[in-house]
Structure 1
Amino acid sequence: MPENVSSDTGRIPLSSRQDWCWEWTRSYDPASYSMDLTWALRLRGSLDVGALRDAVAEVTSRHDALRLALVTGTAHPLDDPRPVQRVTGGYVPLDVVGVGASHSSEEAIDRITSLPLDLTGPLVRLTLIRLAPDEHVFVLAFHHMVFDGASRRILMRELTEAYNRRMGAMSTPAPTADFSYVDFARRDNAPDVLASKRLRVADRARVLREHGSAEPLGGTGVALSALTGDYRLIPMTFTTGQVTSIRRSARAARISVYSLLLAALVRSVGEVYGRDRLVGTTIAHGRTEAGSTSAIGLFCAPVEMAFDLGVRDPADFLHHVHGAVRHAANLADLPSGEKASSVLVREGDDAFFRTCLSHLDFRLTGITGLVLDRPDGPIPFHGLDARLWEYPRTFPELIYASAQAARGNAGTLFLDLRMSDGELTGFLCYEAGYHDESSVRAVADLFRRLTVQLPLLTGRLQGA
């Protein structure tokens, strides 16, 4: 067994990071949505399947998060409001399948990539599809309960190194397991830690209530109870020149691009909806323990940030928002379910949607702080042309498991922006049965204006 990995295969409580994901998973009708992260690698060339299988075994035996399975007390896992988990097996197997005569390669790939994970079994599924002797598709599927975005980078680095070592292309020894997710989850649930968290949850709930967390943005459907949402998008585009100006402004203000854009969004929502305080959600990386930066598992967590719009000076407001973003990393360990129950009233054992405590949610992809993220390029498998393969995935219409989950999502405005070819493009998303379209468009228009004007507002900081 890998070094420092617990040999106890008994019951393990969910970590606080897994808590929010389980709430989110239970927010949906299981036939509607699967909380899995799936991607595919197209491998062209002479693949050594045995070496890949051994590499998979090496990496998955080192990271116990990849071998976790849920243990519930019900026949239907999603009926369990708080399951536990256990470690299964010594490694995750690699399934190798061919394309049958009755299916095309596209049909075979679609069948594998569209297959949701079964919550009663392993939360990881690795499949190699053989299309031809020199062409394969490697499909990797993980439930979000055991995997996050940072895990993907760690997994691909270790998997390629393990394969290349077996192909004689690397001489470095395999890394040791210096961090156990199982032990992390147990430490996270130690009695003294839980007692401290209860006090911190109570304090955070007070702050969120003071900032109107239980008072949703005014809309046309405050009592929305439909279990399906009518979500609509308002396109957003910032040109290369505008992006350059935004980055220059962020550098001048000594804040991240994310914080700068979030400040413009918060101000826009506050002005249009007449709010002097708001709550927004960000994703905190959550890797705060020593050794966790090289560990696979779910560490990230949605964290609520409290904003005071009474801070009118533009420069002061930018730093107010940036401070809230930075502080979010210190709150990733607070269990979302308990926090939401402290602010709202849980209806029976219904789950809380991940943004139920927030008025707005902002995602920014492809640009971090002051530098651009590197796009995904070739994956360095020795002797292979290995690349991420963009494949279409189709999902049925989203259906929520309860009215509480539906309301928890409908009241939030979602801004999603992505860097592409030097431009920022994306959309402002809203639920049309809840929000008045004219109000949301007013937010979008004001956000565009404020974002373009920010260079003027922060220009006086250039010499600071």
Structure 2
Amino acid sequence: MPGTAAPDAGLIPLSSRQDWCWEWTRCYAPDSYSMELTETVHLRGPLDVGALREAVAEVTSLHDALRLSLVPATALPLDDPRPLQRVAPGHLPLHVIDMTGRSPQDAVGEITSRPFDLSGPLAVFTLLAFSPDEHVLVLAFHHLVFDGASGKLLIRHLTEAYNRRAGNDRTPAAPAEFSYAAFIRRERDPAVLAAKEHRTAELVRVLREHGAAEPLEGDGVGEPPLAGDYVLVPMAFGPDDVVSLRRAARTARVTPYSLLLAALTRAVGEVYDRERLVGTTIAHGRDEPSSTTALGLFSAPVEIPFDLGVRDPAEFLRHVHTGVRAAAGTADLPYGSRVASVLGREGDDAFFRSCLAHVEFRLNGITGLVLDPPVERVPFDGLDARLHEYPRTFPQLAYASRQAARGSARTLFLDLRMEEGSLTGGLWYESTYHHAERVKAAADRFRQLTGCP
């Protein structure tokens, strides 16, 4: 199980959710890939910088996950190589940088493309001032303390706090309902740990039975390179196709995600001649009621076992849908220990997030049966505030070990995004490991099974 009891009461281990992210972080060579999440807000109008500074202080004082910092294992008298962490007291500052004469496009790209320094704060709030009436707020977080759901929550908490401060409302904020540090300590309860060990052992058994240690057959050219060569088989579902998919999902009483995942696993199983497969997805992991409005890393990859011996299409669809829902309940299980139990660990090499799965499916822009509304305007009072994505530049991706490279290369990744009523994206594969024609055959079969060729 992750973490080791520390002699310093101020130190806490990684949470079960952070365990997978720490493995994933270590998969990449230094300065190769940024594990940070950013939100950038373009602000036009008379910004009250003092009110914004106070809003940042309020939000970061209430959400202790944002004040976490790592303590390297090398600095501790412990045998466990994983770091511990501590919560800084108080709140985080708002860094204000004068960018007069610079263009937002260049300045923001420069700031957000810098790799995160794991020896420092894992959350950084920066205000770039281009003129008295033009600013860009850059909110940067390492994935160890932040997830996708936290982005929308942060914007809501921050704008509410700013609007109160800018309106001279000095009412103290309500006490925090959730503490990430307390959440970790609850996970360390001996009874909780014992129950997790039992559940992890059962999950490991099921994953072995479904071939998690038996990857999809490659083309036999050898080890995938540390600098992977990933190729996309593009796919697009137009507005009419999306309407048909949502109607079919509603009729079957499943989500579009389950509908598409069932088609993907069936297609891959047929092309690769597999009776059983393992898929993976990201579960939101916010199991405690008070965590639904908390900031921090709660999401985690979960594995879904599939039995392709279920031949009836309707029955198989229910099998997939039930499997997705059941897998969400395993988000609290430590990732590193279950992967090591299935695959074994080579020294201190790290595990890629999908190394137990044959397929990974990411669907963005739709939750359940509902299309996510586009979020552009941000409700800062008296300002024209808009979320804006600025281009970021990173060095070429490179893995830190052969184990990490293999863990990524063996998985097929379906990535689709809903934009303006259409689904676009495609099936990614590592071209050194996978045979291109075989992957394309799986993609073609997937399109046929969705009924939207």
Task: Place the TM-score, normalised by the shorter chain, in its bin.
Answer: over 0.9
Q: Structure 1 residues 225, 442: closer, same or farther in 2, change over 3 A?
A: closer
Tell me how far apart the structure 2 counterparts of residues 244 and 106 of structure 1 sit (CA, whole Å): 36
Question: Following TM superposition, by how much is the alpha carbon of 1:111 offset from its aligned partner in structure 2, in angstroms?
Answer: 2.0
* Native 8 Å contact 2:37 2:143 kept in 1: yes
Aligned partner of 2:182 in structure 1 is 183
Q: Which residue of 1 aligns with 2:279?
A: 280
Which residue in the other structure is 1:406 paired with?
405
Secondary structure of the equivalent of 2:266?
helix
Q: Distance in 1 between matches of 2:114 and 2:125?
A: 12
Cross-structure match for 1:10: 10
Query: CA 1:224 to 1:81, structure 2 compared with 1: closer, same or farther past 3 Å?
Result: farther
Q: Deviations over 1:327-353 (max 9, x none)?
A: 112100110100001100100011000
After superposition, give the CA deviation of every residue in 1:116-150 in whole Å (9 maximum; x if it has no partner): 22100100111100011100010110000000111
Percent identity, aligned pairs only, is 65
Q: What is the identity, as a one-letter code, of the residue corresponding to 2:52?
A: L
Matching residue of 1:5: none
Larger CA deviation: 370-379 vs 203-212: 370-379
Q: Is this contact kept in 1: 2:226–2:401, CA < 8 A?
A: yes
**Partner in structure 1 of residue 21 of structure 2:** 21
CA distance in 2, matches of 1:313, 1:170: 61
Q: Is the 8 A contact 2:123 2:142 kept in 1?
A: yes
Structure 2 CA distance for aligned equivalents of residues 413 and 129 of structure 1: 40
Partner of 2:144: 145
The 1:75/1:234 distance shift into structure 2, 3 A limit, reads farther
- What is the aligned partner in structure 1 of residue 379 from structure 2? 380
2:163 aligned partner: 164
Residue type matched to 1:129 in 2? L
Q: 1:169 to 1:259 in 2, by over 3 A?
A: farther
Equivalent residues of 1:9, 1:86 under 8 A apart = no
Q: Per the alignment, do residues 272 and 336 of structure 1 end up closer, same or farther by CA in structure 2, a change over 3 Å counting?
A: same
**Is the alpha carbon distance of 1:221 and 1:298 closer, same or farther for their aligned partners in structure 2, counting shifts above 3 Å?**
farther
Q: 2 CA distance for matches of 1:344 and 1:285?
A: 25
The structural deviation recorded for 1:288 is: 0.4
**Structure 1's 128 and 439: CA in aligned 2 closer, same or farther, altered over 3 A?**
same
Amino acid at match of 1:89: P
RMSD (CA atoms): 1.9
Describe the SS at the equivalent of 1:245.
helix
1:213-228 correspondence runs (5 A): 213-221=212-220, 223-228=222-227
Q: Which moved more, 1:383-392 or 1:171-180?
A: 171-180
- Spell out the pairing of 1:70-149 with structure 2 (5 A cutoff): 70-74=70-74, 81-99=81-99, 104-149=103-148
Aligned to 1:418: 417
> What secondary structure is seen at the aligned counterpart in 1 of 2:92?
coil
Q: Deviations over 1:357-391 (max 9, x none)?
A: 00000000111221111111200000001111121
Residue 152 of structure 1 deviates from its aligned partner by 1.0
CA distance in 2, matches of 1:107, 1:291: 39
Runs of 4+ with deviation above 4 angstroms: 169-173
Q: Tell me, yes or no, if structure 1 residue 303 matches structure 2 residue 309.
A: no
Is the CA contact (8 Å cut-off) linking 2:360 and 2:414 kept in structure 1? yes
- The 3-state SS of whatever aligns with 1:430 is strand
1:193 aligned residue: 192
Distance, in Å, in 2 between the alignment partners of 1:173 and 1:95 is 23
Q: Report the 3-state secondary structure (helix = DSSP H, G, I; strand = E; otherwise coil) of the residue aligned with 2:451.
A: helix
- Contact 1:67–1:92 (Cα < 8 Å) also in 2: yes
After superposition, the Cα gap between the structure-2 partners of 1:453 and 1:310, relative to the gap in structure 1 and judged at 3 Å, is: farther
Q: What's the CA shift string for 1:422-447, capped at 9, x where partnerless? A: 11111110000000000000011001
Q: Is the 8 A contact 2:16 2:333 kept in 1?
A: yes
* Distance in 2 between residues matched to 1:406 and 1:165, nearest whole Å: 49
- Report the alpha carbon displacement of residue 99 of structure 1 after superposing the two structures with TM: 1.6
Which residue does 1:4 correspond to in 2?
none
Corresponding residue number in structure 1 for 2:4: none
- Give the Cα separation in 2 of the matches to 1:348 and 1:222: 25
Alignment deviations for residues 305-331 of structure 1 (CA, whole Å, 9 cap, x no partner):
000000111110110000011111210
Matching of residue 352 in structure 1 with residue 351 in structure 2: yes
- CA spacing shift, 1:59–1:187, aligned 2, 3 Å: same
Instruction: Give the structure 1 partner of residue 247 of structure 2.
Output: 248
User: Secondary structure at the residue paired with 1:396?
Assistant: coil
Q: Cα 1:28–1:207, aligned 2, differ >3 Å: closer, same or farther?
A: same
Cα distance change on mapping 1:291 and 1:105 into 2, 3 Å: closer
Q: Which residue is equivalent to 2:45?
A: 45
Give the secondary-structure state (helix, strand or coil) at the position aligned to 1:74.
helix
What is the CA-CA distance between 1:81 and the residue it aligns to? 3.6
**SS of equivalent to 1:425:** strand
Structure 2 residues without counterparts, runs of 5 or longer: 1-7
**1:433 and 2:432 matched:** yes
Instruction: Give secondary structure in 1 for the equivalent of 2:289.
Output: coil
| 1:55 paired residue number | 55
Check conservation: 1:15, 1:189, Cα contact below 8 A. no
Work out whether residues 227 and 400 of structure 1, in 8 Å CA contact, stay in contact via their aligned partners in 2: yes
Q: Secondary structure at the match of 1:128?
A: strand
CA-CA distance at 1:169 after TM superposition: 8.3
8 Å contact from structure 1 (residues 161, 170) kept in 2: no
1:180-224 deviation per Cα after TM superposition (whole angstroms, max 9, x unaligned): 000001111222212221111111011000000000000114741
1:66 is aligned to 66
* TM-score normalized with structure 2 length: 0.95
Whether contact under 8 Å (1:123, 1:142) holds in the other structure is yes
Cα separation, 1, equivalents of 2:168 and 2:381 = 7
Superposition pairs of residues 391-402 of structure 1, within 5 angstroms? 391-402=390-401
Structure 1 pair 252/303, CA: closer, same or farther in 2 (3 Å)? same
Structure-1 residue corresponding to 2:34: 34
Query: Which amino acid is 1:163 matched to?
Result: Y
CA distance in 2, matches of 1:191, 1:222: 47
CA distance in 2: counterparts of 1:105 and 1:367, whole angstroms? 30
- Match of residue 5 from structure 2: none
The offset of 1:80, in angstroms, is 7.8
- Asked if the contact 2:100–2:130 (Cα under 8 Å) also holds between the matched residues in 1, the reply is no
Letter in 1 for 2:209: E
Could you tell which deviates more after superposition, 144-153 or 170-179? 170-179
Matched, 1:450 2:428: no
Q: Does 1:202 align with 2:201?
A: yes
Other structure's SS at 2:73 match: coil
Q: State the aligned residue count.
A: 444
Distance 2:182 2:395 in 1: 37
